[in-house]
């Protein structure tokens, strides 16, 4: 195998002691698969040495210490021979062996339908199969400018793919830098909760992560590095907001009105608009009477005021979803007193590795051991791939719907409850407050290594599970009239997730206003295209948030491949525009709502959840298996669309 494969690793020149030290840190099952690549010897995975099970967020693998030591001894010999032989790789494993390696690593058969998706994700052949080439002539491509709204993970990805396809684009970003949510959320303790060796672009792996679940500055800097490596920054307008976008049927183009920080307004013309604004970018401040009267500093978690010194102060944190859950343990040791207002208790997934550092040996392995990083990516992906969806399904025959939606869900509830109970110790009052009263995984499940309850048990921390009646100059008063005087209030109260593309005004064909068409029920075919809005493509649009596993980056890669495929089809057919057929969209929407009705997130006992709109319906989540979404978005089926052409005459295309 040639070194041109970027995943084959750098040549190894380190001495034995350095290699042996590195092997102390690595994932042992992943190491064994790298050894198969290195030696061509499949018998390595056909003997007694094998993983005993697979769990989400695995670091070193589930093998006995003796077995791990045995593998390290074998590995040291094999790596030494590989190094001394000039780091020449034998022929790559054939498809059958790759299948065997996949199933061996995850301790269960990987069904046929998953293999192509996983192979694509892993890029063992070194090819980035999600990249779409557009072979239209350069003048046709040049005449197809695209505006991308937002430069978070999906907008940056859109820029990269458009650049590769030779399509001119401008990214409009309201912030001064890249990252979107990873730029805006700089609150203390902010970190990702999908393992970073998977939560990064499939074609841009990083061997630099210093923690398995990196903190915000490291993630933001990853996106910044990728942006510079691909030269995307020259096509980004920073500190600029899209005010409106209006479709012009005569020119088959979008007129995109933008406003920069100095209030200068301008209109860009684009043949297509890609919305990459995310779902969680407009803070939600609670509607609590008197909120504006508080005399001290107060701010939303996504607008953290770093000029405010919270040390030795009395702080209130209102809200304990994923954001509050990270803020509280981080600031608790430094504040004089911390009052946490939690309306609904949260289910937590035990993850002992949540704050774990990536050892230098892992970074070395990522750089040097052939395909180590690719197999580790698969190891992280697989346990969060579709198993969680099956577990979220409501079993109507299950008799105890008040506490769980199925037998599996009941077991999850027991496991999670045991995790909470063990940590609450003898504090029964606290335990009563922190065990949720709705089915497990019914809201966004949080990653926990014990830091949440450790923080709540501190003497300077109080958990309040009561509603807030009002706020005044000095603090907060609960429904039962208890005062909590504080110096600082932090609102970790989430986002206006159901208001997609808000507050922009998007006007499509025949003066249709998107916010009117959607109301409180935003929907898009495959979460990407919307009837009446030609050449408008959403990334992380309605119905695409993942509550059951995977990663939004995986989803974004699916979406941008589909979108680039749409642009390719428009240019190849010399079409002016495309939009989904209403009946295709409506059937998809109805099917999606049926699916969502049968999943735990719709459970009626869940009163408050950002997954639900005011009527309790869900429009933000995907109910689909990742493998299905991947299959559906590999390329657009043009029969799903109304394709319009300029001549003859513009309106002659079927509807
Ligand atoms: P959130 O999950 O919507 O949580 C908001 C919190 O504020 C909840 O505790 C909510 O209570 C409470 N709240 C809202 N309105 C309130 C009111 N009027 N009075 C009292 N309490 C109120 O928001 P978030 O924590 O910012 O997280 C949002 C999403 O962002 C997450 O689900 C996740 O997808 C993402 N996120 C990810 C990470 C990560 O990867 N590590 C970190 C942060 C956020 P109820 O529960 O009763 O509604």
Mean pLDDT by 10 residues, the chain (655 residues): 80 98 98 98 98 91 96 98 97 97 98 97 96 96 98 98 98 98 98 97 97 98 98 98 98 98 97 97 96 98 98 98 98 98 96 96 98 98 94 95 96 97 94 96 96 97 97 98 98 96 96 97 98 98 97 98 98 97 98 98 95 97 98 98 76 36
Residue 10, in any domain of the structure? no
Q: Which residue has the tokens 């869940």?
A: 606
CA of 453 from ligand 1 middle (Å) equals 18
- The answer on 533 and 466 residing in a single domain is no
Contact criterion met (CB below 8 Å) for 169 and 272: no
CA atoms within 13 A on the CB side of 380: 26
Number of domains in the chain: 3
CA of 280 from ligand 1 middle (Å) equals 10
Using CA positions, which residue lies closest to atom 23 of ligand 1? 494
What's the pLDDT at 85?
97
Ligand 1 site, residue 322, Cβ cutoff 6 A: yes
Domain boundary (439, 465, 491) is at 491
Range 466-469, long-range pairs (CB < 8 A, 24+ positions): 466/341, 467/343, 468/286, 468/288, 468/318, 468/341, 469/289
Helix/strand/coil for 517: helix
Using CA positions, which residue lies closest to atom 14 of ligand 1? 493
Residue 199, in any domain of the structure? yes
Q: DSSP letter at 444?
A: P
- The answer on 561 and 432 residing in a single domain is no
Residue 218, in any domain of the structure? yes
Query: Could you identify the atom of ligand 1 that is nearest to the CA of residue 320?
Result: 9
- The answer on 319 and 274 residing in a single domain is no
**Dihedrals phi, psi of 202, to nearest 5 degrees:** -60, -30
- The answer on 458 and 569 residing in a single domain is no
Using CA positions, which residue lies closest to atom 17 of ligand 1? 286
Q: Which helix (H) or strand (E) holds 538?
A: strand 536-538
What's the pLDDT at 652?
35
Helix/strand/coil for 448: strand
- The answer on 501 and 487 residing in a single domain is no
Domain that holds residue 178: 138-282+497-644
**Dihedrals phi, psi of 169, to nearest 5 degrees:** -150, 160
CA of 320 from ligand 1 middle (Å) equals 6
Contact criterion met (CB below 8 Å) for 302 and 187: yes
Those residues with Cβ within 8 angstroms of residue 280's Cβ, 6 or more apart along the chain or in another chain: 181, 302, 494, 495, 497
What's the pLDDT at 647?
64
Ligand 1 site, residue 470, Cβ cutoff 6 A: no
Residue 393, in any domain of the structure? no
CA-based nearest residue to 354, from 66, 53, 56, 1: 56
- The answer on 378 and 487 residing in a single domain is no
CATH code: domain of residue 637: 3.50.50.60
- Report residue 47 as tokens: 């003997």
What's the whole-model pTM score?
Answer: 0.97
Those residues with Cβ within 8 angstroms of residue 362's Cβ, 6 or more apart along the chain or in another chain: 22, 25, 26, 27
CA of 342 from ligand 1 middle (Å) equals 10
Residue 640, in any domain of the structure? yes
Strand order in the sheet with 240-248: 265-270, 253-260, 240-248, 505-507
**How far apart are alpha carbons 523 and 613 in whole angstroms?**
13
How many other CB atoms are found less than 10 A from the CB of residue 50?
A: 19
CA of 278 from ligand 1 middle (Å) equals 16
Residue 395, in any domain of the structure? no
Contact criterion met (CB below 8 Å) for 143 and 271: yes
- Report residue 259 as tokens: 């406003």
Helix/strand/coil for 127: coil
Using CA positions, which residue lies closest to atom 11 of ligand 1? 343
- The answer on 76 and 225 residing in a single domain is no
Which of 290, 321, 346, 545 for mutating ligand 1's site (highest number of atoms within 8 Å of CB)? Answer: 321
**How far apart are alpha carbons 589 and 271 in whole angstroms?**
26
**How far apart are alpha carbons 205 and 208 in whole angstroms?**
9
- Report residue 634 as tokens: 């590999």
Which of 192, 288, 300, 343 for mutating ligand 1's site (highest number of atoms within 8 Å of CB)? Answer: 343
What's the pLDDT at 649?
42
**How far apart are alpha carbons 97 and 33 in whole angstroms?**
11
Contact criterion met (CB below 8 Å) for 430 and 345: no
- The answer on 39 and 185 residing in a single domain is no
Helix boundaries (H) for 425-499: 428-434, 451-456
**Dihedrals phi, psi of 163, to nearest 5 degrees:** -60, -45
Q: Which residue has the tokens 């009946």?
A: 583
Those residues with Cβ within 8 angstroms of residue 263's Cβ, 6 or more apart along the chain or in another chain: none
- Report residue 135 as tokens: 């072979």
**How far apart are alpha carbons 64 and 50 in whole angstroms?**
10
Q: Which helix (H) or strand (E) holds 223?
A: helix 216-229
Domain boundary (491, 521, 548) is at 491
Which of 323, 443, 445, 468 for mutating ligand 1's site (highest number of atoms within 8 Å of CB)? Answer: 323
* β strands within 261-371, DSSP E: 265-270, 272-275, 298-300, 314-318, 337-341, 348-350
- The answer on 367 and 446 residing in a single domain is no
What's the pLDDT at 3?
57
Residue 121, in any domain of the structure? no
Query: Could you identify the atom of ligand 1 that is nearest to the CA of residue 288?
Result: 18
**How far apart are alpha carbons 38 and 84 in whole angstroms?**
12
Residue 234, in any domain of the structure? yes
- The answer on 501 and 376 residing in a single domain is no
Ligand 1 site, residue 215, Cβ cutoff 6 A: no
- The answer on 299 and 272 residing in a single domain is no
Ligand 1 site, residue 321, Cβ cutoff 6 A: yes
Beta bridge partners of 171: 148, 236
- Report residue 655 as tokens: 């509807």
**How far apart are alpha carbons 380 and 554 in whole angstroms?**
13
- The answer on 628 and 559 residing in a single domain is yes
CA 465 to chain centre: 29
Ligand 1 site, residue 323, Cβ cutoff 6 A: yes
Ligand 1 site, residue 620, Cβ cutoff 6 A: no
Helix/strand/coil for 237: strand
Q: DSSP letter at 283?
A: B
Using CA positions, which residue lies closest to atom 36 of ligand 1? 322
Domain boundary (472, 491, 510) is at 491
């Amino acid at each position: 195998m040639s070194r041109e494969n970027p995943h084959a690793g750098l040549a190894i020149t380190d001495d034995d002691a350095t290699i042996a030290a590195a092997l102390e840190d690595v994932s042992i099952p992943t190491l064994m698969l790298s050894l198969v690549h290195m030696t061509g010897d499949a018998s390595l995975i056909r003997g007694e040495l094998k993983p005993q099970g697979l769990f989400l967020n695995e670091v070193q693998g589930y093998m006995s210490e003796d077995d791990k030591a045995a593998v390290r001894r074998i590995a040291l010999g094999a790596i030494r021979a590989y190094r001394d032989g000039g780091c020449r790789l034998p022929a790559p494993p054939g498809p059958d062996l790759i299948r065997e390696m996949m199933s061996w690593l995850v301790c269960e058969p990987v069904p046929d339908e998953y293999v192509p998706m996983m192979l694509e994700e892993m890029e063992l052949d070194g090819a980035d199969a999600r990249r779409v080439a557009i072979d239209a002539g350069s003048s046709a491509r040049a005449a197809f400018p695209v505006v991308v709204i937002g430069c978070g993970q999906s907008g940056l990805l859109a820029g990269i793919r458009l650049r590769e396809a030779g399509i001119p684009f401008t990214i409009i970003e309201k912030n001064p830098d890249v990252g979107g949510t990873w730029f805006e959320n700089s609150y203390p303790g902010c970190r990702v909760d999908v393992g970073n060796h998977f939560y990064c672009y499939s074609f841009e792996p990083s061997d630099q992560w210093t923690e398995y679940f990196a903190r915000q500055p490291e993630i933001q800097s990853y996106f910044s590095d990728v942006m510079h490596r691909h030269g995307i920054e020259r096509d980004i307008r920073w500190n600029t907001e899209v005010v409106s976008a209006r479709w012009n049927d005569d020119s088959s183009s979008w007129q995109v009105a933008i406003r920069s920080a100095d209030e200068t307004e301008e209109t860009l013309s684009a043949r297509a608009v890609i919305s990459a604004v995310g779902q969680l970018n407009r803070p939600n401040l609670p509607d609590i009477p008197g909120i504006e009267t508080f005399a001290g500093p107060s701010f939303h978690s996504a607008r953290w005021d770093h000029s405010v010194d919270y040390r030795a102060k009395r702080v209130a944190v209102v809200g304990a979803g994923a954001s509050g859950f990270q803020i509280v343990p981080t600031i608790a040791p430094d504040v004089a007193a911390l009052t946490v207002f939690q309306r609904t208790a949260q289910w937590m997934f035990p993850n002992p590795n949540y704050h774990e550092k990536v050892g230098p040996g892992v970074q070395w392995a990522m750089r040097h051991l052939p395909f180590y990083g690719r197999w580790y990516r698969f190891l992280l992906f697989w346990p969060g791939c579709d198993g969680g969806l099956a577990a979220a399904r409501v079993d109507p025959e299950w008799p105890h719907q008040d506490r769980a939606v199925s037998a599996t869900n009941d077991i999850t509830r027991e496991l999670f409850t045991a995790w909470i109970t063990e940590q609450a110790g003898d504090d029964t009052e606290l335990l009563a407050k922190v065990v949720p009263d709705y089915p497990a995984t019914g809201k966004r499940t949080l990653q926990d290594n014990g830091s949440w309850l450790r923080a709540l048990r501190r003497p300077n921390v109080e958990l309040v599970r009561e509603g807030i009646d009002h706020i005044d100059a000095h603090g907060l008063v609960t429904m039962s009239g208890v005062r909590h005087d504080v110096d600082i209030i932090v609102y970790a109260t989430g986002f206006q997730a159901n208001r997609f593309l808000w507050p922009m005004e998007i006007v499509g064909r025949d003066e249709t206003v998107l916010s009117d068409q959607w109301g409180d029920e935003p929907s898009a075919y495959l979460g990407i295209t919307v009837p009446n809005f030609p050449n408008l493509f959403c990334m992380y649009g309605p119905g695409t948030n993942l509550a059951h596993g995977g990663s939004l980056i995986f989803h974004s890669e699916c979406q941008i491949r589909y979108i680039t495929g749409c642009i390719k089809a428009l240019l190849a057919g010399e079409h002016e525009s495309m939009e989904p057929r209403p009946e295709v969209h409506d059937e998809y929407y109805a099917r999606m709502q049926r699916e969502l009705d049968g999943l735990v997130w719709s459970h009626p006992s869940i009163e408050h959840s950002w997954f639900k709109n005011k009527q309790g319906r869900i429009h933000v989540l995907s109910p689909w298996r990742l493998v299905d979404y991947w299959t559906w978005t590999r390329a657009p089926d043009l029969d799903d669309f109304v394709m319009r052409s300029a001549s003859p005459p513009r309106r002659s295309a079927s509807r």
